[in-house]
């Protein structure tokens, strides 16, 4: 499936800002279920270059400006080809011990209730138990927007009994780690069947399954990831994997507005992409001779 994505995040500074710094994790990378055909990131219409792998292998870039600004507009756009791999995420070319994803954070520290929830899942092989754990988390936490905050911990969300995809993912991660299973938070995009525009990125979890590797669990939707998902960045928790993190020297009110649009590419759009690829094939040898 070919998916077109447009992700815009706008910041407004009521009294202006003299310095803005942003860490951007907005460049998806290739794996066996995902191929990036075209992608660009801009800040205030200027392209951002210099994306490089971080400690997790995800691509990130730092954008800094020292001048007066009343706002910053970050836009990531592109086309990604995806395929359904039954939830298995392979081919990321990672060179670290997965056990680093057993580390607890302030957002994922397991409460007594999370440990109890994890301990209730006993039957089946490792994959079956993780499926059962994901279902148990979703049964315990209803999807209810507006009752949790970005700083809400996994334990707090479970106690509230409601939340959004961030909360579902972090509770699952916390519970899996309490069982000795490496698990990580993933931020990305989900193409809905109705093509509805979203207001933010989607979130899910990946857990390390013996014999299979990383498997993606979207607890909110009770499924493993499919070709409707675009993987963007990962980390120990939501804060660690945030696609955009910034700081500003500003007085007054700071406003943030986000908008995500993702849809399957039409035949015309796929043809335009093919033509671009053919043009690149013709022009690359000429550039190489220069």
Residue 234 has pLDDT above 70, yes or no: yes
Residue 146 has pLDDT above 70, yes or no: yes
End-to-end CA distance of the chain: 37
Residue 139 has pLDDT above 70, yes or no: yes
- The proportion of the chain whose per-residue pLDDT surpasses 90, expressed as a percent, equals 83
> What is the pLDDT, as a whole number, of residue 207?
98
Task: Give the CB-side neighbour count of residue 236, counting CA atoms within 13 A.
Answer: 14
> What is the pLDDT, as a whole number, of residue 138?
98
> What is the pLDDT, as a whole number, of residue 287?
27
> What is the pLDDT, as a whole number, of residue 252?
81
CA dist 77 and 277 (Å) reads 17
> What is the pLDDT, as a whole number, of residue 281?
38
CA dist 129 and 117 (Å) reads 12
> What is the pLDDT, as a whole number, of residue 137?
98
> What is the pLDDT, as a whole number, of residue 284?
33
CA dist 47 and 119 (Å) reads 48
Query: Which residue has better confidence, 24 or 15?
Result: 24
Mean pLDDT value across the chain:
91
CA–CA distances in Å: residue 239 to residues 110, 233, 234: 17, 11, 10
> What is the pLDDT, as a whole number, of residue 196?
60
pLDDT in tens, 55-72: 999 999 999 999 999 999
Please compute the mean of the pLDDT values over residues 109-129 and round it to a whole number.
Answer: 96
- Residue 266: which pLDDT band, with cuts at 50, 70 and 90? confident
pTM of the model: 0.90
Contact 75, 6 (CB under 8 A): yes
pLDDT in tens, 75-109: 999 999 999 999 999 999 898 999 999 999 999 99
- Residue 225: which pLDDT band, with cuts at 50, 70 and 90? very high
Residue 277 has pLDDT above 90, yes or no: no
**Structure token digits, residue 138:** 């979703």
Residue 219 has pLDDT above 50, yes or no: yes
Residue 168 has pLDDT above 70, yes or no: yes
pLDDT in tens, 237-249: 999 999 999 899 9
Burial class of residue 41, CB neighbours in 10 A (0-12, 13-18, 19+): buried
Please compute the mean of the pLDDT values over residues 242-257 and round it to a whole number.
Answer: 90
> What is the pLDDT, as a whole number, of residue 193?
73
pLDDT in tens, 176-201: 999 999 999 999 999 987 656 566 79
207: Cβ contacts below 8 Å, ≥ 6 apart = 130, 172, 173, 176, 181, 182, 183, 214, 215, 217
Among 55, 48, 54, 107, smallest CA distance to 75 is for 48
Question: What percent of the chain is helix, strand and coil (3-state, nearest 5)?
Answer: 25, 40, 35
Residues facing 72 on adjacent strands: 11
What domains does the chain contain, in order, with CATH numbers? 2-267 (3.10.620.30)
Residue 278 has pLDDT above 60, yes or no: no
């Amino acid at each position: 499936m070919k998916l077109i994505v447009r992700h815009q995040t706008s910041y407004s500074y009521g009294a202006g800002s003299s310095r803005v710094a942003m860490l951007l994790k907005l460049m998806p990378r290739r794996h066996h279920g995902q191929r990036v055909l075209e992608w660009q990131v801009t800040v205030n219409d200027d392209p951002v270059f210099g994306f490089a792998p971080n400690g997790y292998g995800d691509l990130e870039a730092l954008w800094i400006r020292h001048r007066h600004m009343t706002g910053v507009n970050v836009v990531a756009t592109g086309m990604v080809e995806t395929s359904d791999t039954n939830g298995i995420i392979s081919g990321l070319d990672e060179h670290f011990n997965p056990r680093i994803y057993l580390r607890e954070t302030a957002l994922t520290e397991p409460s007594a209730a999370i440990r109890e929830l994890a301990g209730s899942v006993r039957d089946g092989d490792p994959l079956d138990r993780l499926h059962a754990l994901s279902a148990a988390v979703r049964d315990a936490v209803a999807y209810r927007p507006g009752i949790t905050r970005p700083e809400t911990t996994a334990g707090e969300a479970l106690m509230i009994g409601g939340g959004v995809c961030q909360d579902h993912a972090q509770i699952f991660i916390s519970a899996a780690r309490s069982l000795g299973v490496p698990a990580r938070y993933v931020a990305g995009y989900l193409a809905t069947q109705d093509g509805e525009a979203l207001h933010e990125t989607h979130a899910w979890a990946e857990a390390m399954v013996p014999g299979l590797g990383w498997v993606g669990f979207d607890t909110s939707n009770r499924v493993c990831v499919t070709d409707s998902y675009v993987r963007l960045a990962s980390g120990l928790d939501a804060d660690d994997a945030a696609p955009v993190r910034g700081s500003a020297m500003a007085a007054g009110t700071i406003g943030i507005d986000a908008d995500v649009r993702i849809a399957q590419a039409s035949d015309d759009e796929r043809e335009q992409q093919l033509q671009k690829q053919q043009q690149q094939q013709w022009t690359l040898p000429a550039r190489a001779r220069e």
